[in-house]
A and B are shown apart, each in its own frame.
Chain A
Amino acid sequence: MRAFLDNLRLALGTFFGNPLRSLLTLLGIVIGVATVITMMGLIEGLRLKVNNDLGRMGAHTFQVTKWPAGGFGRINWAKYAKRKPLEMDDVRAIEQSCPSVGVVAPTDDEGGQKIATAANETQPSVQVYGTQTNYTLTSGVSVQSGRYFNDVEALDGRQVVVLGTDVADVLFPGIDPVGHEVRIKGRPFRVIGVLQRRGSMLGMFSMDNQVMMPLRVFQQLYGKSRSLDIDVQAKDPELFKKAQNEVTTLLRRRRGVEANVPNDFEIHTNESVTASFNQLSIVITIAGIGVCLLSLVVGGIGILNIMLVSVMERTREIGVRKALGAKKRRILGQFATEAVLLALMGGAMGVGLGFGLVFLVDWVLRFPMSVPPWAVGLALVMSCGVGLLFGIYPAARAARLDPVEAMRAD
């Protein structure tokens, strides 16, 4: 222990004896660790956000779709394209014959739309949704001013819209859009409400750059033969699984899926989406650790270099220490401690820099980042490991020096 403290003091002396050189040497490790911290912060932030955002898909609600959701792997689109679309008949069947189901809300949507007024127009990037009134129950959307369309408007197919806040901000800067008119695909729509701001999905895709209109009107505009997404809410949280089973059984029968053949439709729950994201985040984490290891190796070579130089510069000192009674292990320990401490300092600076970047991203891009404590621990442990790995050879060289020869060095 005493020997360790002495070594620590010596190592600190070396570091501060030539701080610039030490810093430059450590750059590799600093950058490596900063990268891993930032990456982990990003992934963890993303994960928390996903859990949070997906959690908004109302409670005990699941979604039935023809297409698999986003998905993070390769998707064989051709295979899914052959599936039969989900139609209003399916919606009605679920409503009628699934006792555990409370709300059935069919939706359809089309991206890349341009919304215009006489004075302004949006980028062609707006997501247009066709829904029924009960969409507010399954999706958790709500209006901040005006109102959502009612059943009469929905069934009649009135040309009314509820704007997302991004769209409202562009088309009606500084004024309340309710009561005004907008044009979508050349048709006039009356604005009856503005949605509550929802923020962005995963910090990247705004969920406010959208408009909602009655499904009937949507189908007149964009076609009827498209497959619907069906949001299904169980009557009760306890009936969630049961409702899924009922809907699955019903749809398999209606679509003529034989036993032992997988579903030809998809059921998404918050859990299933979160799970597939978690899988992705594991992949990114492993890739991140790989990148980090690589730069740590580069950093390690820096350590190797500075330690070899340090041993050479201090050959005489090593000779004196050995002459005065330092054993090999002691010299080995001195230089190994120095290498580890050097690497650890690099690691600590990397953690600092990483946190700096994380806060910067958080602040500038408003992307919530969160660094898991284990990532800090891992980064520091890996730094120490690198220091030891690359410091041991120069240290062993120092320990082997012959005192007489070493004291003659200049």
Chain B
Amino acid sequence: MSDGGNASKLIEVQDITRVFHVGGEEVRALRGVSFGISRGEWVAIIGQSGSGKSTLMNVLGCLDTPSSGRYTLNGKDVSRMSDDELAVIRNEEIGFIFQTFQLLPRETALANVELPLVYRGIPARERKARATAALEKVQLAHRMHHRPNELSGGQRQRVAIARALVAEPSMLLADEPTGNLDSATGEEIVRLFAELHQAGNTLVLVTHEPKLAARCPRAIRLSDGEVVADGPGREVALGIGQSVMAAGGT
């Protein structure tokens, strides 16, 4: 993880909105969302479908920019960046873990894990060494020359996690990481997240599953594009208490 961790938060979201124009109609997916996430936190963002959590995930992942408001990631204001500038931020700061894994089917596990390093311009030899190390971390070094279709769902997601880790980003951003896995495999992945959290990684996990969010030390609940709860994962996920806005807020 990048150092320089001080009082300032890794992620600072201030009153961001995101408005889509669909067939002449305005859809307000985010209506002024604010929160902060510190280095080393493990946070779930939870909400029903249509709550705006996917939009928020895209904004946090620098795949989209907010219509208004300010998003600061690792000290950089990324809310008004160009596509190519955002590509650099995604490459350096964010490790994505997707529900559908999003591995390149024609490439081996190793080549998939190398991908972020390719776009960082790292020489092939070093790329290979770092990708191998990342695969070892997820216990998949022995499968690194297999293509995704030769791997089980859990193995695929672990390859995706290795890919997210390999470039040492400031945060891991996971979108429904267990959504396509059976419960036993899902559990395995959640345990891997817990280990990564233990090791000091910052994890942001977007999910609609209360059970998963309950495992996180902190959860933020979205509803209709607004933050309606923010507090310890168990409480927010299961609706215990009223930890609205205050607990982890800025």
Contacts and interface: CB of A to CB of B under 8 A. Distances in A.
Contacts of B163: 324
Contact of A317 (B64, B104, B123): B104
11 contacts: A6-B118, A17-B106, A316-B102, A317-B105, A320-B102, A323-B96, A324-B119, A324-B163, A325-B90, A327-B84, A407-B98
Interface residues of A, number: 22
A326 B119 contact: yes
Contacts of A2: 121, 123-124
- Top 3 nearest A-B pairs (CB, nearest first) are A325-B91, A325-B119, A327-B84
Among B96, B115, B118, B123, find the residue whose CB has the most chain A CB atoms closer than 10 A: B118
A254 B102 CA distance: 95
A328 B119 CA distance: 11
A404 interface: yes
Contacts of B102: 316, 319-320, 323, 407
Looking at chain A's contact residues, the main secondary structure is: helix
B36 to A, nearest CB: 24
Contacts, number: 57
Nearest to A325: B91
A2 B119 CA distance: 10
Interface of B: 58, 61, 63-64, 83-84, 87-88, 90-92, 96, 98, 102-106, 115-116, 118-121, 123-124, 163
A13 interface: yes
Given A2-B121, A17-B106, A404 B63 contact: yes
Given A17-B106, A316-B102, A404-B58, A328 B84 contact: yes
Given A323-B102, A404-B63, A330 B123 contact: no
Contacts of B83: 327-328
A322 interface: yes
Given A403-B63, A404-B64, A325 B87 contact: yes
Interface string A384-405: 0000000000000000000110
Contacts of B91: 324-325
Contacts of A320: 102-104, 115
A324 B131 CA distance: 14
Contacts of A322: 87
A323 B63 contact: yes
A328 B120 CA distance: 14
A325 B92 contact: yes
A3 interface: yes
Contact of A324 (B84, B105, B116, B123): B116
Contacts of B87: 322, 325-328
Given A317-B104, A323-B102, A404-B58, 7 more contacts: A2-B123, A2-B124, A316-B102, A320-B104, A325-B116, A327-B88, A329-B84
A330 B118 CA distance: 11
Q: Give the one of A319, A325, A329, A404 with max B CB within 10 A.
A: A325
Contacts of B90: 323-325
Interface string A318-359: 011111111111100000000000000000000000000000
B137 to A, nearest CB: 18
Interface string A7-37: 0000001000100000000000000000000
B180 to A, nearest CB: 14
Nearest to A5: B124
A331 to B, nearest CB: 10
A321 B64 contact: no
A403 to B, nearest CB: 5
Contacts of A407: 98, 102
Contacts of B106: 13, 17
Nearest to A328: B84
Contact of A330 (B92, B96, B103, B119): B119
Nearest to B95: A324
A327 B120 CA distance: 10
A77 to B, nearest CB: 69
Contacts of A327: 83-84, 87-88, 119
